[in-house]
Structures are given as C-alpha cells and as structure tokens.
C-alpha cells in the first residue's frame, strides 16, 4: 500500500532549475506523476513534444502554459486542467516563484485499453 500527501514538499527544488517529479503510478498504458515547481520554466526556445497524450491539473500555486500553435498563453490556477495531445508542442512559461506549484500529470495513449470492459 502506498500512502502519501500530494501537498507534502520539503523545499528541495527551491534553488534548483529542476522541478521535483515523482511517479505515483505506472499502469502500463498510463503513468501518473506529481510535479512540484518553484519558479522553474521551460528554457527559452525549448518545446515539449511528447510521444503520449498528457492530462494535467494544477492543484496549488499558479502557472502559465504556452502552446506553439496558440497566440495567447493559458493561465492556470488551482483546479484548472488541460489535455495536451501527443506531439502538441508546448512549454511552461511561468510558475509561481513564491510558493510551490503542485501538478498532477497523467500520461497516456489515446485509445489505449486500460482494463477489460467486462466487469
């Protein structure tokens, strides 16, 4: 049994350029991660171009996402979520440097069978 707290954070990335990324579940066709950002952003000129779809929800803090094919960034506050299709280029333009920004990210393959439909 795994037990934890999504908001627990020891301050380990506050002076780092790297976010804290923790795998919570790996279910074959999907992976669930907790990400803690403390002011980190995607380096200028770099884009994420992922092999799998990603559904991400912001639990605390604040962030701004930019998509290569969109003129305006997406402002994210607690409770906001976005589904990012595979290979849709995006970047994290800003995360709140004054408090931890906690994300849940579900990486999956669209149409992948997770379980049997017969219960």
102: buried, middle or exposed (CB in 10 Å: 19+, 13-18, 0-12)? buried
Whole-number percent of the chain with pLDDT over 90:
72
Per-residue pLDDT at 14 exceeds 90: no
Q: Is the whole model's pTM more than 0.75, yes or no? A: yes
Average pLDDT, the chain: 90
Q: Domains in the chain, please, with CATH?
A: 26-108 (2.60.120.10)
Per-residue pLDDT at 75 exceeds 90: yes
Place of tokens 């790297």: 18
Q: Give the H/E segment covering residue 66.
A: strand 63-67
Confidence of residue 56 (pLDDT cuts 50, 70, 90): very high
Residue pair 93/85 in contact by the 8 Å Cβ criterion: no
């Amino acid at each position: 049994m795994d037990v934890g707290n999504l908001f627990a954070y020891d301050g380990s990335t506050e002076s780092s350029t790297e976010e804290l990324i923790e795998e919570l579940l790996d279910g074959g066709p999907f992976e669930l991660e907790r990400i803690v950002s403390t002011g980190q952003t995607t380096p200028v000129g770099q884009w994420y171009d992922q092999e799998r779809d990603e559904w991400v929800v912001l639990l605390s803090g604040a962030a701004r996402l930019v998509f290569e094919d969109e003129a305006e960034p997406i402002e994210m506050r607690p409770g906001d979520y976005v589904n990012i299709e595979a290979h849709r280029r995006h970047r994290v333009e800003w995360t709140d440097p004054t408090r931890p920004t906690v994300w849940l990210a579900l990486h999956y393959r669209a149409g992948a069978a997770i379980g049997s439909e017969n219960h």
